[in-house]
Amino acid sequence: MPKRMTVVVSVATVWTKPESPRLMDEPALKYPAEIREWLGFMTLGDKLDLCLGNRIQTQILYGSTVLVVEEGEGWSKVLIPQQGTRKDTLGYPGWVPSCQLAEEGEALLGSKRAEVISDKAWLYKNPTELVMELSYLTSLPVLEETEEWVKVQTPEGTGYLKADDIRLIDGPLAPKSAGVDVGRGIVEQGKRFLDLPYLWGGMSSYGYDCSGFAYAMHRYFGILIPRDASDQANQGTLVDKEQLEPGDLLFFAHEEGKGAIHHVGIYAGDNQMIHSPETIKCIEIVDLSTMKLAKEHCVSKRYWK
């Protein structure tokens, strides 16, 4: 029977196996994790090796629940229920340092949560003492509200978030927005992260990979899509090229669209796409007719209506 545990670092990186991290990855393995330091240490070659060496699978945000199915020598094999995948019906699999997990506490009565909608937000122990910097879309149960502060339940006690950094939602996902152009909203959320460097396996506002970026921009609107591009392409509603609307997902495959899917971007309107392209680049908007992947576009899907 899997054991329910909670992530107790700002961003837990999920590794392919316990042997996957390199010496330089130590900051990402600590409690608390030092994500900014880890990213700052790496050269371009080091970042490329995260992919080429098949080191990272995905990431999980502070306060998220995982299912632990195996433990040993300081590592836990986890499944991530909110990250759908064909790899396991219970959730996305991988390995996390056990020090970055804690046993899940008792569920609070009521379901109101504070979800970070700033690019980053500080969690405070009290209104003057910082604890850690949290990523966009980190979500924690609400205990009390004032005009300036929201008191939250954390995996390690209580804390405070500035009211300006969060929104209040009922349940683990934001409700689907009635009367809002969700497709364009997905694009507008994405534009907030223009120039953010790509990170293989990235699922936080410290760096996204292509499918992580699509996943997060949909999740902002309460839409849970699969974690990986290949799975995203197999679900959703098929959209013809002539019927594309902002917010639709565009998928690209090797062999000029006939091979395996390797990339996803978000249609931004006017024959443009916003995407997190590759390790050597940052989130950008490109013209679909001139981009190097143009001939590899194989299918488009819609999740937002």
Q: Which residues is 75 bridged to in the sheet?
A: 72, 97
The DSSP code for 271 is: T
Token pair of 138 as six digits = 């980190």
- Catalytic residue (choose from 51, 218, 254, 263): 263
What is the three-class DSSP state of 199?
Answer: coil
- Catalytic residue (choose from 51, 218, 275, 282): 275
Reference 235, options 252, 251, 216, 212; nearest CA is 251
Q: Is 210 considered catalytic here?
A: yes
Q: Is the peptide bond before 197 cis (omega within 30 degrees of 0)?
A: no
Rounded to whole angstroms, how far apart are CA atoms 145 and 143? Answer: 7
Q: Which amino acid is at 305?
A: K
Q: Residue length, the chain?
A: 305
- Catalytic residue (choose from 210, 218, 297, 298): 210
Report in angstroms the alpha-carbon separations of 269 from 207, 234, 247: 24, 23, 8
Rounded to whole angstroms, how far apart are CA atoms 279 and 48? Answer: 6
Token pair of 231 as six digits = 């799975």
Q: Which of the residues are catalytic?
A: 210, 263, 275
